[in-house]
Structure 1
Amino acid sequence: MIMRRPHVALLAASLLLAGCGSGAVASPGHPSGAATSEPGPPASTTAIPSSPSPAMSAEAARLELPGLGPKTLAQVPSDARQAVVVTGRGKNSPTSEVVLYERASTGWQPGESWPAHNALKGWSDHHMGGDLRSPIGVYGLTDAGGLLRDPGTKLTYDQGYGFVSPGTGFEGEPLKGSFDYVVAINYNRQPGTSPLDWTRPLGANRGGGIWFHVDHGGPTHGCVSIAEKHMEQLLLALDPHLHPVVVMGDAASLAR
């Protein structure tokens, strides 16, 4: 049975609205306005630790994820059956590509490749609030939401006006619609809560509000953005029973 959370109106009203690359109505991680735009929706804790002594079969299947080196692979939980791999063009580049993999008996099977934007200044192994870099690592995907109604996702979905994103992005592009659909990336956030939740387990200085959200045509503050049709596809594909994770970073960092 799919759980639905009521919109956190009081919380949203109490927070400075900003949005990953947009001005969002609910997350201080997402500053609004051009040079400060790119809202950073709520994110979860640190990278997922590697599972202890995974079975050989699980390890073999895990190694089939392309482009990932041993350090990155070690962070992918053995029970993960879905992995959204975000590969940045360069350490300081704001562009990347997204591929959703699903693990079958024959190994990891790739879906389509989608163009994406990440943070204005690229990627960081130690993300800090306001550094305009996206965090490198492996993080869970448990919670979604948006201004628009739930398109039918299996994730818990919070729909409401807290996902408004006014203003313009770094390149002067309008941010309207950026939060029509979002998936919270569990970096420095409490899993199992609305993407609008402001809990920061690592502390506010480590940033947060890192989401997948609708692309507005320019770099983000720390989030990963893809076209609205691809966001809808992602929401329909993600299944909590398959323990989905995101593996994100520039190509060189992921290959470590």
Structure 2
Amino acid sequence: MTSQDYKDILMKVENHLAFENRGGIGDQGVCWWHSMFTRNATYLAIYRPELPRPTRSEARQIIEDISANRGVVEIPGFKNLEEFSYAHRDQIQTSLNAAQIVDGGILFGWVRGVTGNHEVAPQKLENMMNDLYLEVRTGRVVYQMLQIEGIMAHAWLVVDMERDGDGYILKVLDSNDRDVYKVYYKRGMKQLLDYDSVPYTSRNAVDYQGYKNAKASFCKRGMTAKDIRDQRNNRQN
């Protein structure tokens, strides 16, 4: 598949999670992990609707493999992410909640949400948007943290981006919305109007290396996340 194929996948709502951002600590949501899970599934999941559906135990392992960016994941009995996540919403939500506790608390991942400013000088934001445009043009679906005033931070995926006069139009997949929508940036702005925030690109190099390794293992040796997991377990025993 090409980079454009993955973007096309994310432009369709049936390839999104069947539920919006919710749950988490204090029921404040798990937007960071909701977005990460969606992007991981886009690059790693292969759907096998002709096969029997997984048991709850098997589904839990599929969810863990997707969350961990462990390798290519085969999902039997379903034809897209919307179908799978509708049937296993509770298990996916449990996984996202757990990831928030580990990454957002124990491992102090929440610090990533307070290291930027919610408003910056116009030239700085222009430079950030120019850099974002160049990264999107490479074919990547870009994960971003949105710094909101205070310690709050949101996250979204920039699926595509185009020039628009003296600014840009971003096509984003936001965990608070079921469909892709447009975000507008104009030169001279100090923050985006969406969430009154500044977007900071995050996690892309590491995650994309994981996708590259996963596809190489699958295409060259036919290894899925399950095979990789079994191989590791055998070495430990």
What TM-score do the two structures reach when normalised by structure 2? 0.26
| TM-score of the superposed pair, with normalisation by structure 1 | 0.25
Larger RCO (CA within 8 A; separation ≥ 6): 1
Larger Rg: 2
